């Protein structure tokens, strides 16, 4: 794992890309695959998400998902940078949304209800707003594997069901 700490010069370069002036930046938290920083400028607050686990290259996919699935349920993404000119790892910048984390050991009932409503909206939104091409992109590798190994499936009914559902998913796009 490559854990790079951001320095002031790097953050100033990111501010130039945003056409804004730096006030301050600070480390927010470490996720499973990225490190998160708060960037405060004269105009806005942003989160910088730096990919620091090279084994899991998910940041670009996450950025693309957030860009496509506009809903107001998550931060607006600003830009993704894989050039490695400013930071040696991939990163993206997104708007920062103020909030506070609930107690990990004792979340309130209100928080649990709010999260349940948020997940309901999330699932409704992603089903409606994701472009069909994403489904095709996700299903195609499975279909290729199915075609490659279908002769090994001895159960004819199972083979027919697999073929039906995979083709249905591919034709939905």
Position 64 scores a pLDDT of 84
Helix (H, G, I), strand (E, B) or coil at 36: strand
CA distance 34 to 100: 20
Position 91 scores a pLDDT of 95
Position 171 scores a pLDDT of 62
pLDDT digits (tens, 9 = 90+) for 43-91: 999 999 999 877 677 788 888 878 877 666 678 899 999 999 999 999 9
Tell me how crowded residue 46 is: count the other CB atoms within 10 A of its CB. 24
Give the structural domain span for 162. 109-171
pTM for the whole thing? 0.65
Using the 3D structure, point to which of 95, 126, 149 is the last residue of a domain: 95
Q: Residue 65: give its domain's CATH number.
A: 3.30.200.20
For residue 167, the surrounding DSSP H or E stretch is helix 156-171
Using the 3D structure, point to which of 67, 95, 123 is the last residue of a domain: 95
pLDDT beneath 70, residues of the chain: 1-4, 55, 70-73, 100-109, 111-113, 115-116, 118-155, 158-159, 162-163, 165-173
- Contact call for residues 28 and 45 (beta carbons, < 8 A): no
Position 21 scores a pLDDT of 97
Q: Looking at the 3D structure of the chain, how many domains does it have?
A: 2
Same domain as 157, residue 81:
no
Q: Angle at CA 40, nearest 5°, toward 38 and 42?
A: 170
Position 106 scores a pLDDT of 62
Residue 30 within any structural domain of the chain: yes
Using the 3D structure, point to which of 60, 95, 130 is the last residue of a domain: 95
């Amino acid at each position: 794992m490559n854990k790079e700490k951001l320095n002031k010069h790097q953050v100033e370069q990111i501010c130039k890309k945003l056409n804004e002036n730096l006030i301050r930046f600070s480390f927010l938290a470490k996720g499973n695959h990225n490190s998160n920083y708060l960037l405060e400028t004269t105009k806005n607050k942003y989160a910088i998400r730096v990919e620091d686990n090279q084994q899991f290259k998910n940041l670009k996919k996450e950025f693309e998902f957030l860009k496509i699935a506009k809903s107001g349920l998550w931060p607006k993404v600003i830009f993704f940078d894989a050039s490695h000119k400013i930071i040696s790892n991939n990163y993206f910048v997104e708007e920062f949304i103020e909030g506070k984390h609930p107690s990990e050991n004792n979340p309130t009932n209100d928080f649990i209800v709010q999260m349940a409503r948020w997940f309901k909206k999330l699932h409704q939104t992603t089903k409606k707003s994701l472009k069909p091409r994403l489904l095709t992109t996700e299903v195609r590798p499975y279909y290729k594997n199915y075609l490659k190994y279908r002769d090994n499936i001895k159960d004819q009914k199972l083979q027919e069901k697999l073929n039906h559902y995979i083709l249905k998913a591919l034709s939905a796009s």
